[in-house]
Structure 1
């Protein structure tokens, strides 16, 4: 067994463990709601747009939206197509998703990427309770993708890494544009 097959096997076992031992009917609504917050990045887009309105939060809104765009392009236009990993519910026997089956590939998790790209920006710009709250929500959205059975753990890890790197790039671009604007 090669390393990729070994990782695939561990990923499958994690999802089956979650389905068998962690999923509870009374908690399904909670995790479906959390995963809904990440659908299409809508929550993060709305938050970013709202932050564009007041002048004092405009920079954080712009930077988070930029990070979201960078992460979305890398995830959805490059990596998902290049890796072409089949969704777990189509590959793992006995796995039942709690949400509608999706039509795209699995790696990396777009929900997780979008969440971490914005949350890391907010955490860097607001290291108080607001930034920490954004990070907690990003982690919950990432975990929800495992709970509802639509991503492997490595998909979520990959999405978090791409999101984090997208945030770092967006923050650097934001600092660069601020310096350029100040120099003019």
Structure 2
């Protein structure tokens, strides 16, 4: 049950929505920009894995290739490498870890790891699919954070002036 939940989009979308609402309530505009950027990062990770790498690698899922694999909830799709779930989770976790760090950053990394494990447990991916997804997502998340820090997280003259006026 927990592995199916980890593989669902619902908890992650709820988490992003809660963080967005909290940041909006507190008027933390830099956080809101970063959360939108983070959502786009996960979308890019998903698109690169599904639209570029999967058709190129063309590896068949273990639940199709190996008839003895126990599948918990049916075999979805046909291509396996890389795992989109692992890639998206790693992109989210890498960005979050670099942005927030600390215990919450480590928690995000642990959640991404659990998502990857769930994909193997559910019979949807080989371990190497998950590892490939982790590498891809970590690279995309890390690069995205570097760009976000450069373009949206750095203080602009307007935000500095607003902070000085508030003091």
Same-fold status (TM-score > 0.5) = yes
**Partner residue in 2 for 1:18:** none
Is the 1:79–1:107 contact (alpha carbons within 8 Å) kept by the matching residues of 2? Answer: yes
Q: Which runs of 5+ in 1 are unaligned?
A: 1-28
User: 1:169: Cα distance to partner?
Assistant: 1.9
Is the 1:67–1:169 contact (alpha carbons within 8 Å) kept by the matching residues of 2? Answer: no
Is the 1:122–1:131 contact (alpha carbons within 8 Å) kept by the matching residues of 2? Answer: yes
Matched, 1:125 2:110: no
RMSD of aligned C-alpha atoms? 2.2
**Partner residue in 1 for 2:48:** 74
**Partner residue in 2 for 1:47:** 15
Give 4+ residue runs of structure 1 displaced > 2 Å after superposition: 29-36, 41-53, 178-184
Q: TM-score normalized by structure 2?
A: 0.80
Q: In structure 2, do the counterparts of structure 1 residues 173 and 46 end up closer, same or farther at CA, with 3 Å as the change threshold?
A: farther
Q: Following the alignment from structure 2 to structure 1, what is the Cα–Cα distance between the partners of residues 18 and 154?
A: 25
Aligned residues: 152
**Partner residue in 1 for 2:149:** 175
1:145 partner SS? helix
Q: Following the alignment from structure 1 to structure 2, what is the Cα–Cα distance between the partners of residues 149 and 63?
A: 32
User: 1:109: Cα distance to partner?
Assistant: 0.3
Matched, 1:30 2:11: no
Matches within 5 A, 1:1-184: 29-36=1-8, 41-53=9-21, 54=23, 55-56=27-28, 57-178=31-152, 182=156
Is the 2:5–2:11 contact (alpha carbons within 8 Å) kept by the matching residues of 1? Answer: no
Q: Following the alignment from structure 2 to structure 1, what is the Cα–Cα distance between the partners of residues 36 and 78?
A: 28
Is the 2:97–2:109 contact (alpha carbons within 8 Å) kept by the matching residues of 1? Answer: yes
Is the 1:44–1:118 contact (alpha carbons within 8 Å) kept by the matching residues of 2? Answer: no
User: 1:134: Cα distance to partner?
Assistant: 1.1
User: 1:112: Cα distance to partner?
Assistant: 0.6
**Partner residue in 2 for 1:22:** none
Q: Which runs of 5+ in 2 are unaligned?
A: 159-167
User: 1:151: Cα distance to partner?
Assistant: 0.1
